[in-house]
Amino acid sequence: MIPKLSIGLIVFNGEKSIANAITSLLDQTFTDFELFISDNGSTDSTQKICQEFMKKDKRIIYFKQTINQGVDWNFRFVLNKASREYFMWASDDDLWDPTFIEKNISNLKSKKTLVCSISEVDFFGPFKYRYDDPNQITKYRHVHPMSGIYLDKIKFYLKFKRSTMIYGIFRTEILKQNPVFEFSPKDLLVILNVLKYGDFGVVDEILMHRSSGGMSSVGMIHSLKIMNVSNMGILFMYWPFIKWSFRNLGLKFIIKNILTFFELFYVGYGRIILDIFRVVKYRLKK
C-alpha cells in the first residue's frame, strides 16, 4: 500500500531529543506514512540512534548529510523527497500526541478548502514561560485558523507574527507549487505563500508540544550561525522578504500596512541587537 503521508524530520546534533520525537511519531494512531529523517551533518550520536530505529520500522528512511547544509536546505530536502498526498515537517525536539496525524488528516479530508491543518500547540522546556504564560492562556495563541480573501489573510498573519503553522499537515501538491526557501523569514513566507491556495484549519485540542529550547533560548545570532547564515545574511535578513512582498503583495498593500511591516522588522532586528548587547556585556566582564 502506498503511504498517504510523508513526514520530513530534520535534525542536527539531536541525540538528547531525537529518540522521543521518533517514538511519538511511530506511536501515531494513523500509521499510513513514511518518515524521512535528514541528519544535517550531526557530530554526536544522532546517526546511531536513527539507524537503530530504522532497523525496527520499515517506514523510516534515514539520510546522513556529510556536512551541515543549513536548516533551509534541510527543510527543502525532505519536502523534495515527498510524493504522497499529504506532508508534514517535524523537528527533532518536538512531540505529538497519538491522534495528532489522524485528526488533522480527517480535518483536511472533511474540509476541501483547507490547505493545511494543525492542532492547538503548547510549549515545554526551561523557557516555556516565554511562550505559555499560565496567566495569559488564550485560544489560538500560537496557531490560528484562517479563511477569506488572500490579502486579508496576509494582513492577519503579518500581525499575528507566529509561524508554528509550518508544522501542520499540508496538501503536498500545493506546498510544492511555490517554494520560498531562498527568502527570509522562511517559516512565515511558507505560510503566506500557501495561503494563496486555500484556508488553514486548527483542531481545537492541544496535540502538539513544541520545545522552548530553540532560537529564543540560545540567541538569534548563534542560531543563525548554526544555520550557516553569513554576517551579511544576518544584517540584510529581511531584504529577500521585502522583495517577495513587492513581487506578491504590491506597493499599495505595503504602504497601507507599513506599520505592520516595521513592527515585524523591529521584532527581528530587536532580538539581534539584544544578542549584541549580551555579547558586549559578557566581554566587558572578562
The mean-pLDDT minimum among 113-127, 151-165, 228-242, 268-282 falls in: 268-282
pLDDT of 261 strictly over 90: no
* pLDDT tens digits for range 190-238: 898 899 999 999 999 999 999 876 544 445 555 555 555 556 555 656 7
Buried b (16+ CB within 10 A) or exposed e, 174-188: bbeeebbbebbbbbb
DSSP-derived 3-state class of residue 242: helix
∠ Cα 71 77 47 (to 5°): 75
Name which residue leads in pLDDT, 155 or 224: 155
Class (C level, CATH) for 1-93: alpha beta
pLDDT score, position 281? 58
pLDDT score, position 163? 86
What are the Cα distances from residue 181, in Å, to 1, 165, 268? Answer: 32, 16, 18
Give 241's pLDDT tier (boundaries 50, 70, 90): confident
Name which residue leads in pLDDT, 75 or 132: 75
Burial level of 226, CB count in 10 A (0-12/13-18/19+)?
Answer: middle
Give 138's pLDDT tier (boundaries 50, 70, 90): confident
pLDDT of 177 strictly over 90: no
pLDDT of 149 strictly over 60: yes
Span 235-260, average pLDDT:
83
DSSP string covering 117-185: EEEEEEEESTTGGGT--TTS--TTSS---B-S-HHHHHHHHHHH---GGGGSEEEHHHHTTS--TTSSS
pLDDT score, position 262? 82
Rounded-to-integer distance, Cα 249 and Cα 252, Å:
8
Cβ atoms of 8 and 78 within 8 Å: the answer is yes
Span 118-132, average pLDDT:
76
Span 130-135, average pLDDT:
57
pTM greater than 0.85 (yes/no): no
* pLDDT tens digits for range 47-90: 999 999 999 999 999 999 999 888 888 898 999 999 899 999 99
Domain boundaries, the chain: 1-93, 216-285
pLDDT score, position 216? 45
pLDDT score, position 7? 98
